[in-house]
């Protein structure tokens, strides 16, 4: 139901101006709004505002990424340069153009760098979601748009962090939240477009550090909602990465601004 025709066919459809079956992936719509982010918008305590946007319902899978790599061989792991993806890019696949038995088609693709993820998204006229878009979407659970105050919501997420990653990744398609987005928690970490805007100190105890030169007019970002560990750990994870890095538990999904597809 979700898996649709190959990307190339869909791009052809786009050119022809076909409407609803244009893109391979399911995108769900989010109206956006103002909300309290762990990263204050003014650097101190301001709320963040998210314009309406669409988000892929699930992380990008091995099958989808394989189609991309086949259509754009410069993104094969044996062709992509080190500046865009580290040496372990797609290392969980058995071959440069075949995920193999260890990386099932419905599992989220991992061992992808930020550049590779951006390239995939650009190919379907999308981009990586911004941190605020991701956080906004991830605040929801199955019944509420903002479940972050619920200790049970936090404990569930913390429990995922605590599980070792020695077992195989699950397939995408977990329980949908109120927006219809799935697997924002409990499956993989996900890249965001502005991962390098998370100006937190490498020593996370230095919140409110008065070194104003550090980040030009700001010390390390003061993270709000310190009791929201589940989200803070995600910030910590993303802030430890460089754009060419990849890890076993890091995947991505794409986002598009607005609620209506632009004319091709």
Partner 1 sequence: MNTMSDQGRSAMLAILLALIGAFSFASVPEAAELPTTSVYRLDVPLVDQDGNGLHLADRRGKPLIVSMFYTSCHNVCPLTIDTLLATERALAPNARLGLDVLLVSFDSDRDDPLALKRVADLRKLDVPRWTLARTEAANVRKLSAVLGIQYRELANREFNHSSALVLLDAEGRMVARSDTVGAVDQKFVSALATLLSGK
Partner 2 sequence: MKRLMLSCVMAAALAAAGCGSRSADVDAAGAATAAAETGGSAKGDFGPPQGEPIHAVLTSPPHVPPPVGRDHPAKVIVELTVIEKEMPISEGVSYTFWTFGGTVPGSFIRVRQGDTVEFHLRNDPTSKMPHNIDLHGVTGPGGGAASSFTAPGHESQFTFKALNEGLYVYHCATAPVGMHVGNGMYGLILIEPHGGLAKVDHEYYVMQGDFYTTGKYREKGLQPFDMEKAIDEKPTYVLFNGAEGALTGDKALAAKTGETIRLFVGNGGPNLVSSFHVIGEIFDRVRYEGGTREQENVQTTLIPAGGAVMVEFHTEVPGSYVLVDHSIFRAFNKGALAILKVDGTENKSIYSGKEVDSVYLGDRAEPNLKPVAVATKAAAAGALTVEDQVEAGQVLFTGTCSVCHQANGEGLPGVFPPLAKSDLIAADAKRAVGILLHGLSGKITVNDKEYNSVMPPMTQLNDDEVANILTYVLNSWGNPGGRITVDDVAKVRAQPAPAATAAH
Which residues from 49-108 bind partner 2, rule CB under 8 A?
A: 88
Q: Please, what is the minimum distance in Å from the beta carbon of residue 232 to partner 1?
A: 17
Q: Which of 35, 84, 160, 229 binds partner 1 (CB under 8 A)?
A: 84
**CA dist 54 → 72, 95, 187, 230 (Å):** 25, 33, 20, 24
Q: Rounded to an integer, what distance in angstroms lies between the CA atom of residue 150 and that of residue 146?
A: 9
Cβ contacts of residue 203 below 8 Å, gap of 6+? none
* Helices (H), ranges, 39-92: 62-71
Q: Kindly tell me which of 9 and 159 has the beta carbon lying closer to partner 2.
A: 159
Q: Kindly tell me which of 36 and 249 has the beta carbon lying closer to partner 2.
A: 249
* Helices (H), ranges, 45-123: 62-71, 114-123
Q: Kindly tell me which of 75 and 153 has the beta carbon lying closer to partner 1.
A: 75
The overall longest dimension of the chain from CA atoms, in Å, is 56
| 243 burial type by CB count under 10 A (0-12 exposed, 13-18 middle, 19+ buried) | middle
112 binds, among partner 1, partner 2, none (CB under 5 to 8 A by kind): none
Q: Kindly tell me which of 51 and 236 has the beta carbon lying closer to partner 2.
A: 236
Q: Rounded to an integer, what distance in angstroms lies between the CA atom of residue 155 and that of residue 225?
A: 15
Q: Please, what is the minimum distance in Å from the beta carbon of residue 235 to partner 2?
A: 8
84 binds, among partner 1, partner 2, none (CB under 5 to 8 A by kind): partner 1
Strand order in the sheet with 255-257: 27-30, 53-56, 255-257
115 binds, among partner 2, partner 1, none (CB under 5 to 8 A by kind): partner 1
- Other Cβ atoms less than 10 A from the Cβ of 130: the count is 20
231 SS3 class:
helix
193 lines the binding site for partner 2 (CB under 8 A)? no
154 lines the binding site for partner 2 (CB under 8 A)? yes
Which residues from 229-248 bind partner 1, rule CB under 8 A?
A: 242-244
Residues that bind partner 1 (CB under 8 A): 41-43, 46, 74-75, 81-84, 114-115, 118-119, 122, 127, 193-199, 212-218, 221, 242-244
Which residues sit at the interface with partner 2, rule CB under 8 A? 88, 151, 154-155, 158-159, 161-166, 189, 201-206, 223, 229, 232-233, 235-237, 239-241, 245-249
């Amino acid at each position: 139901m979700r898996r649709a025709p190959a990307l190339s066919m869909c791009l052809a459809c786009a050119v022809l101006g076909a409407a609803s079956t244009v893109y391979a992936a399911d995108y769900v719509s989010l109206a956006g709004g103002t909300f309290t982010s762990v990263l204050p918008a003014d650097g101190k305590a301001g709320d963040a505002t998210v314009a309406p946007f669409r988000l892929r319902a699930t992380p990008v899978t091995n099958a989808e990424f394989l189609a991309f790599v086949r259509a754009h061989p410069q993104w094969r792991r044996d062709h992509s340069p080190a500046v865009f993806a580290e040496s372990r890019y797609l290392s969980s696949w058995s071959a440069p153009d075949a995920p193999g038995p260890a990386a099932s088609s419905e599992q989220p693709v991992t061992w992808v760098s930020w550049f590779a993820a951006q390239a995939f998204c650009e190919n379907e006229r999308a981009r990586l979601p911004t941190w605020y878009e991701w956080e906004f979407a991830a605040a929801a659970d199955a019944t509420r748009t903002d479940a972050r105050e619920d200790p049970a919501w936090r404990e569930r997420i913390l429990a995922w962090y605590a599980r070792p990653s020695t077992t195989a990744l699950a397939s995408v398609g977990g329980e949908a939240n109120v927006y219809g987005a799935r697997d924002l928690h409990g499956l993989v970490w996900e890249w965001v477009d502005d991962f390098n805007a998370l100006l937190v100190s490498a020593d996370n105890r230095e919140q409110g550090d008065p070194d104003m030169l550090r980040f030009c007019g700001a010390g390390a970002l003061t993270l709000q909602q310190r009791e929201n560990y589940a989200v803070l750990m995600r910030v910590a994870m993303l802030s430890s990465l460089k754009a060419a890095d990849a890890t076993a538990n890091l995947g991505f999904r794409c986002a598009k601004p607005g609620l209506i597809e632009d004319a091709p």
